[in-house]
Chain A
Amino acid sequence: EVQLVESGGGLVQPGRSLKLSCVASGFTFSNYGMNWIRQAPGKGLEWVAYISSGSSYIYYAETVKGRFTISRDNAKNTLYLQMTSLRSEDTALYYCARGITIAAIPDAWGQGASVTVSS
């Protein structure tokens, strides 16, 4: 069974940093591109970042480019999202999601890590 478990969320002040982790199991993690997707309270889905299976290709949404860094450790089956210079508008539930097909369409999603940016 595919499982993705996020951790590292919490309450953080504006301008501070936070690092999310996502541990994968039930599939060969190193074979799949991975995404971070977020959902602000009561709002829709917003794609945040993508990393290819071997970390050769990395892409970000314009809203987080230069502030967030996606990375992965295939030996540890773990995906990361380093978030810096956090803003109130970054408050959201952050999901990690496996990508399938050439287009890396997110299929399996974790339960999410809640990030609240507030003073």
Chain B
Amino acid sequence: AIQVTQSPTSLSASLGDRVTLTCRASQDINNKMAWYQQKPGEVPQLLIYYASTLQSGTPSRFSGSGAGTDFSFTISHLQSEDFATYYCLQGYSLYTFGAGTKLELK
């Protein structure tokens, strides 16, 4: 089974900051990486799929990149509604979620 290592586990940042999260797959997954946002008590929301394709409705301050085994997710200018937990998901061979990154206000 493909393992996915997401980092960091938690991150403190300020409004307006640029933050980057990373996920590493245990083998080449081409571009089959997706990113989700989940706020407490809410359902996960798909933000990006195929590593860099923005899901309809995803604000342009969110972006994704990478291929093969290494992927990154960036929020260019943090807004208050962005503080949440983010998960990556590999969809190349079955599905594996990363452990999540909790983004908190500094």
Identify which of residues 68-119 in chain A touch chain B, using a CB-to-CB cut-off of 8 Å: 95, 100-101, 103-107, 109-112
Among the stretches A9-17, A20-28, A39-47, the one at the interface with B is: A39-47
Check B99–A44 contact: CB distance below 8 A.
yes
Q: Which residues of A contact B97 (CB under 8 A)?
A: 44-47
* Interchain CA distance A72-B48 in the complex, whole Å: 27
Among the stretches B65-73, B75-83, B85-93, the one at the interface with A is: B85-93
Check B100–A50 contact: CB distance below 8 A.
no
Chain B residue, CB-CB nearest to A107 = B46
Known: A62-B1, A107-B55. A100 touches B43 (CB 8 A): no
Check B34–A44 contact: CB distance below 8 A.
no
Residue B74 at the A interface, CB < 8 A? Answer: no
Q: Which of B46, B50, B55, B95 has the most CB of A within 10 A?
A: B95
Check A45–B49 contact: CB distance below 8 A.
no
Q: Which of B44, B46, B91, B99 has the most CB of A within 10 A?
A: B91
Tally of contacts, chain A with chain B, CB under 8 A: 54
Please give the number of chain B residues whose Cβ is less than 8 angstroms from any Cβ of chain A in the complex. Answer: 22
Q: Which residues of A contact B7 (CB under 8 A)?
A: none
Chain B, residues 41-60, CB within 8 Å of chain A (1/0): the string is 00110100110000100000
Check B95–A110 contact: CB distance below 8 A.
no
Known: A105-B34, A105-B89. A50 touches B94 (CB 8 A): yes
Check A110–B43 contact: CB distance below 8 A.
yes
A79 CB to closest chain B CB (Å) equals 16
Check B46–A35 contact: CB distance below 8 A.
no
Check B87–A100 contact: CB distance below 8 A.
no
Q: Which residues of A contact B100 (CB under 8 A)?
A: 44-45
Binding site for B on A (CB under 8 A): 35, 44-47, 50, 59, 61-62, 95, 100-101, 103-107, 109-112
